[in-house]
Structure 1
Amino acid sequence: MTQRKLRLGAFIMATGHHIAAWRHPGSQADAGVNIDHYIALAKTAERGRFDQVFVADSPGIKHTGDEESFSRQGRMSHFEPVTLWAALSAVTQHIGFVATASTTYEDPFLLARKFASLDHISKGRAAWNVVTTSADSVHGNFGLAAHPDPAVRYERAHEFVDVVKGLWDSFDDDAFVRDRASGVYFDPQKLHKLNHVGKHLKVEGPLNIERPPQGHPVIVQAGSSEDGKELAAATAEAIFTAWTSLAEAQAFYRDVKGRMAKYGRRPEELLVLPGISPVIGRTQEEAEAKWAELQALIHPSVGLATLAPFWPLDELQRWDLDAPPPYYPEPPKGVNSRAHVVIELARREKYTIRQLYEYLAGARGHWVVIGTPETIADRMQEWFENGAADGFNIMPPVLPQSLDEFVDLVIPELQRRGLFRTAYEGRTLRENLGLARPESRYAHAVKAA
C-alpha cells in the first residue's frame, strides 16, 4: 500500500504574510506588480515539489483602520490571479495554480471560460478557489446598492459552481476529431447546451472552448462557517482553513468530511489544508530573533487596523494596548468565521491588545510556528498523522526569503521522514493531488440510461 503523503500549497501574499513584510530587507517591496518576483517564487515552489501556488484575491480594496494605517498598507497593488497564472504556467512544468474568483461578483460563463483556458494553457494545472466575497466594500464596484447577505451568497454559490461545471462539460472529451482527410473538425452530436434556468442564474451555453485537460479544474474553497463547510462538502476538492490548535483542527477535519456522504462523496475526495506560517531558524534562538525583527516593524496604527473587523476602531483607539481587550460573549453581528477563530484565540491565550495584533500580524490568525526545520516538521507531522490535516497551505512570512528557507530546510526534513514526495507523480494538478478526473455529466447520463 502506498504511504499517504502530505499535500503542500504555497500561499503567496506578494511581499509575504506578515503585515510588515514589505518593510523587511528579505522582501520585494514592489512584489504585487513585479512579474520577475512571481516567476522566481513559482520556480522555487516547483523546485520544492509543491503541489500548487495560490494567491488570495478580492475585486476591490479593503480599507480598515484610519488614514494613518491605510497609508502604511503594503498590499494595495497586485495582479489579477488568472492573468498572472497564465504567464507563470509558461515558465513552469509541474506546479499547479489556484486562482480566486467570486461567485457573487463574477459571471459564470466568463469564469468557466477563463478557467478552462487557464487549464489548457497550463496543460492541466489550474484550480479555482471558490469565494462568495465577504468584504462589504466591493458591491459599489459592480453597481449594487448593498452587499448580499451570507445566506444568499452561499445559495447562489452552490448554483454557480454547478453551472460552471456544466459549462466545462459542453464538449465531450472526444468531440474534436480534426480529421484533415475527411474535413470533419468536430462531432456536433458531442456538443451540449446547458440550458440552465435556476433561482439566481440563467445560462444557455455551450462554452466556446473544449473540455479542460483535467475535465474540471480542481475546485478549492476556504470557508469555515456553517455555510462554507456545506459548500466545501458538496463541491470542493481541497479546502483552505485556519486553526491554531490540534484539537480545533481535528474537530473541523471530522466535521467537514462527515458532511460529504449526504452529497454522495467520499472523505478522500476532499483535502483539508490548514494554513501554517513558519518562521524558520537553524536554531530556536535564530527563529525567535527573526520573529522579533518582524514584529518590531509593525506600526501601532497598522496593528490596530488588524483588529478593526472584530472591534470598532474608535473603541480600539481608546484602549490601553498593554491591557486585555473586552471579549464579547459572541462575536459582533455580521462578522465572518475568521472572527470567531480570532476572538476564541484571544480568550484562550489571554492576550493584550498589542499581543493580539502582533499575533494576527504574522498570518491573520493562521497557525504561526517559530522554530527549527525539525520543530516545524514535527508539528506538521503531528497534525498530518492525527486526523487534523491532509497537508498544509504554507504561508511564508516574508517573500522571497521565507519560501527559500522552507524549500531549502524544511522540505528535505519532510522528505527524509518519508512524508513528502521527492518527484512529481503526474503531469496534472489532479494527478499530483491524488484526485480523480471527473467524468462529464453527459457521459454519466448516457451510461445511466
Structure 2
Amino acid sequence: MPAQRREQMVMGAYVSYGTGHHAASWRHPSTDTTATRNIDHYAALTRLAEQHLFDVMFLSDAPAVFNDDQAGFGGRVTSFEPITLMSALAMASEHIGLVVTSSTTYKEPYNVAREYASLDIISGGRAAWNLVTTSKLAAAGNLGLPAHPEHADRYRRAEEFVDIVRALWDTWEDDAFPADKSSGIYYDVTKRHALHHRGEFFSLDAELNVPRPPQGHPVIVQAGSSDTGRELAARTAELVFTAQSDLESAVAFAKDLDLRAARHPRLNPGLIVLPGLTTYAGRTHAEAREKVEELQSLIRPEFGLSMLSDLVGGYDLTGCDVEGPLPRLPPSNANTSRRALIERLAYDSGLNVRQLYERMTTSRGHLTLVGSYDEVADDMVRWFESGAVDGFNIMPPLLPLGLADFSEHILPRLQRKGVFKTGYRDGTLRQKLGLRRPENQHRTTRHG
C-alpha cells in the first residue's frame, strides 16, 4: 500500500442540501425545514466550519430540480443558486475556502470566468470552481436543448471549456492597473490581452472585464470519477471530489489519478483527493447505530425506490421486488460513475434493491462510517495513512447537528493524532492548501 499523500488531512464541509445529507434529514426534529432558503442558516454553518478549521465549504449544483422524487417526499427540490450564496457567505467568513459547482455543459466559459474571478476578489482569494459536466437529464429542457448531450461530448466540451476559462483569467496581468492620477493612466495597455479562440465547441474573441483573481486562477476541483472524468482531472484539476465506498478501490483510484497526472505538464504535480464521507458517531457504537436507525425510519419505501431510480440514470424501478436483485439496466446518459458504484454493490456484493436504496439514502453511495467517536477517527486515519485520500469532504447526515457533532468530537481526536491542523495558514486558499499560484501566461511568454 502506498504511503500517505500529505502530512495532514484537508477537510471539506459539504452543505449542499441545507438540512443534511441523509435523504430524510428534513423530517428530523433537529432540522429547520426552511434551511434551503435561509441565508442565516448557511451563514451559521460557515462560521461553525471556520471555527473548527475546515479548509473548504462545498456546494454541489445542477441546473435542474433534484429529481429523486416526484411524489412530494423529497426535501431537496429547491436551493439557492450557489455563486450567489457563496458570495454572501464570503462576507460571513475570513479563512475558509469556497467551492462552488458550475457546469461546463450548461454555461459559457465567459460567464464562469467572470463569476469565479469576482468571487475570488470578493472573498480575498478563497474561490474554487468544482467543474462538472452535469449528470441530470432534466437540465437540457431547462436550458432549451432538445436532449442532454452524450457523455463523451460533454467531456470534450469540458476540456476545451476549462482552457478558455484559464485564458480569460489571464486577460489582465496582476500589475495592469497603475491608476496614476497625476498622469491620467489607469491601466497599462501592454498588460491587456484579448483571447482569440477557435475550437470544436467554441469560437470567441474575448476579454474578461474583471481584474485577474488574487489566486491568479481560482482552485479547480473536478468531481467526475469515470475514465473521462479522471483524465480531465489529471490534466486540469488540483482537487478531486469522489465517491469511494471501500478502501481497496479508493487506493486504486488515487494511484490511477497519480499515474494519469504524471503524463501531463502541471503546475502542482499532485492532486488533492477528497472522497465524500458521512459519519454516524456517538460515545458508543450502539449509540451511533441508533442515529442511523432513527433517520432510516423516516424514509418512506417508495421514496427510497424513487431515489435509487434517479441514481441509476432515471431507470424506473417501480414495481421491482425490493427484496430481490437489481435488474440488469439499459445504458444511461446520466451519472456513469455513481451508477457503476451501485452496480458493483448489486452485482458483485449481492445487495438487493432495498439494501441498495437504504445505502443510498444514508450517503448517496459515499463512504459511510458508523461507530464510536474513537472508531470513526481511527478509520479516517487508516484511510489517510493508506494513501487512499488526502482528507475528506464531510457530508453530515443532519445540519447543523451533524456538523457540530463531527467538529466537537472527531476533529479534536484527529488533532491529537497529529493528522489535522490546529490553525489556519495565512494567505489565499492556494497558499493554505500548499498550491502554487499560476503565472499569467502572457507575462511568462514575454519574460521567456
Return the TM-score normalized by structure 2.
Answer: 0.95
Q: How big is each residue's C-alpha offset from its partner over 1:306-329, in whole Å with a ceiling of 9 and x where there is no partner?
A: 221438765x33333233334x3x
Change in Cα spacing, 1:173 to 1:308, as seen in structure 2 (3 Å) is: same
Q: Of the candidates 50, 53, 56, which is equivalent to residue 52 of structure 1?
A: 56
Does 2:95 match 1:94?
Answer: yes
> In the alignment, is the contact (CA less than 8 A) between 1:426 and 1:432 conserved in 2?
yes
Measured in 2, the distance between the counterparts of 1:28 and 1:217 equals 33
1:286-297 mapped onto 2 (5 Å cutoff): 286-297=287-298
Measured in 1, the distance between the counterparts of 2:308 and 2:91 equals 40
Measured in 2, the distance between the counterparts of 1:180 and 1:134 equals 51
Measured in 2, the distance between the counterparts of 1:434 and 1:312 equals 40
Measured in 2, the distance between the counterparts of 1:312 and 1:160 equals 27
What do you get for the CA RMSD once the two structures are aligned? 1.7
SS at match of 1:280: strand
Match of 2:383 in 1: 383
> In the alignment, is the contact (CA less than 8 A) between 1:260 and 1:266 conserved in 2?
no
1:136-175 mapped onto 2 (5 Å cutoff): 136-175=137-176
Does 2:371 match 1:368?
Answer: no
Match of 2:41 in 1: 37
Measured in 1, the distance between the counterparts of 2:172 and 2:313 equals 50
Does 2:8 match 1:5?
Answer: yes
Q: How big is each residue's C-alpha offset from its partner over 1:126-161, in whole Å with a ceiling of 9 and x where there is no partner?
A: 000101111111111222111111111111101110
Which one-letter code corresponds to 1:5 in the other structure?
Answer: Q
SS at match of 1:133: coil
Which one-letter code corresponds to 1:62 in the other structure?
Answer: F
Q: How big is each residue's C-alpha offset from its partner over 1:84-124, in whole Å with a ceiling of 9 and x where there is no partner?
A: 01101111100010111111111111211111000000000
Q: How big is each residue's C-alpha offset from its partner over 1:266-322, in whole Å with a ceiling of 9 and x where there is no partner?
A: 7743111111101121211111101100000001111001221438765x3333323
Does 2:19 match 1:15?
Answer: yes
1:400-411 mapped onto 2 (5 Å cutoff): 400-411=400-411
Measured in 2, the distance between the counterparts of 1:210 and 1:267 equals 23
Which one-letter code corresponds to 2:135 in the other structure?
Answer: S
| Structure 1 residue 62 displacement after superposition | 3.4
Which one-letter code corresponds to 2:341 in the other structure?
Answer: V
SS at match of 1:176: coil
| Structure 1 residue 427 displacement after superposition | 2.4
Deviates more, 1:175-184 or 1:303-312: 303-312
| Structure 1 residue 179 displacement after superposition | 2.0
> In the alignment, is the contact (CA less than 8 A) between 2:306 and 2:318 conserved in 1?
no
Measured in 2, the distance between the counterparts of 1:126 and 1:299 equals 38
Match of 1:213 in 2: 214
> In the alignment, is the contact (CA less than 8 A) between 2:67 and 2:77 conserved in 1?
no
Deviates more, 1:127-136 or 1:334-343: 334-343
Name the % identity.
48
Measured in 2, the distance between the counterparts of 1:356 and 1:185 equals 61
| Structure 1 residue 444 displacement after superposition | 1.7
| Structure 1 residue 60 displacement after superposition | 1.2
Measured in 1, the distance between the counterparts of 2:344 and 2:314 equals 18
SS at match of 1:130: strand
Change in Cα spacing, 1:318 to 1:311, as seen in structure 2 (3 Å) is: farther
Match of 1:356 in 2: 356
| Structure 1 residue 37 displacement after superposition | 0.6
Match of 1:236 in 2: 237
Match of 2:333 in 1: 334
SS at match of 1:370: strand
Match of 1:28 in 2: 32
Deviates more, 1:89-98 or 1:341-350: 341-350
> In the alignment, is the contact (CA less than 8 A) between 1:331 and 1:339 conserved in 2?
no
Does 2:416 match 1:416?
Answer: yes
Match of 1:274 in 2: 275
> In the alignment, is the contact (CA less than 8 A) between 1:28 and 1:400 conserved in 2?
no
Deviates more, 1:304-313 or 1:426-435: 304-313
Match of 2:443 in 1: 443
Return the TM-score normalized by structure 1.
Answer: 0.95
Match of 2:346 in 1: 346
> In the alignment, is the contact (CA less than 8 A) between 1:284 and 1:371 conserved in 2?
yes
Change in Cα spacing, 1:400 to 1:162, as seen in structure 2 (3 Å) is: same
| Structure 1 residue 333 displacement after superposition | 4.2
Match of 2:325 in 1: 324
Measured in 1, the distance between the counterparts of 2:314 and 2:196 equals 47
Q: How big is each residue's C-alpha offset from its partner over 1:38-86, in whole Å with a ceiling of 9 and x where there is no partner?
A: 0010011101101100111111113345x43xx1110111101111011
Does 2:431 match 1:431?
Answer: yes
SS at match of 2:274: strand
> In the alignment, is the contact (CA less than 8 A) between 1:273 and 1:391 conserved in 2?
yes
Q: How big is each residue's C-alpha offset from its partner over 1:221-272, in whole Å with a ceiling of 9 and x where there is no partner?
A: 1000111001100100101001111100001001111111221137743111
| Structure 1 residue 173 displacement after superposition | 0.8
SS at match of 1:265: coil
> In the alignment, is the contact (CA less than 8 A) between 2:261 and 2:269 conserved in 1?
no
Unpaired stretches in structure 1, ≥5 consecutive residues? none
| Residues paired across the two proteins, number | 441
Which one-letter code corresponds to 1:197 in the other structure?
Answer: R
SS at match of 1:263: coil
Change in Cα spacing, 1:311 to 1:104, as seen in structure 2 (3 Å) is: closer
Measured in 1, the distance between the counterparts of 2:307 and 2:412 equals 34
Measured in 2, the distance between the counterparts of 1:3 and 1:345 equals 30
SS at match of 2:165: helix
| Structure 1 residue 26 displacement after superposition | 2.1
Measured in 2, the distance between the counterparts of 1:214 and 1:343 equals 40
Which one-letter code corresponds to 1:112 in the other structure?
Answer: A
Which one-letter code corresponds to 2:35 in the other structure?
Answer: A
Measured in 2, the distance between the counterparts of 1:63 and 1:103 equals 20
Measured in 2, the distance between the counterparts of 1:104 and 1:87 equals 25
> In the alignment, is the contact (CA less than 8 A) between 1:384 and 1:390 conserved in 2?
yes
Q: How big is each residue's C-alpha offset from its partner over 1:23-42, in whole Å with a ceiling of 9 and x where there is no partner?
A: 01122211111101100100
Match of 2:205 in 1: 204
| Structure 1 residue 331 displacement after superposition | 6.8
> In the alignment, is the contact (CA less than 8 A) between 2:313 and 2:333 conserved in 1?
no
Change in Cα spacing, 1:167 to 1:312, as seen in structure 2 (3 Å) is: closer
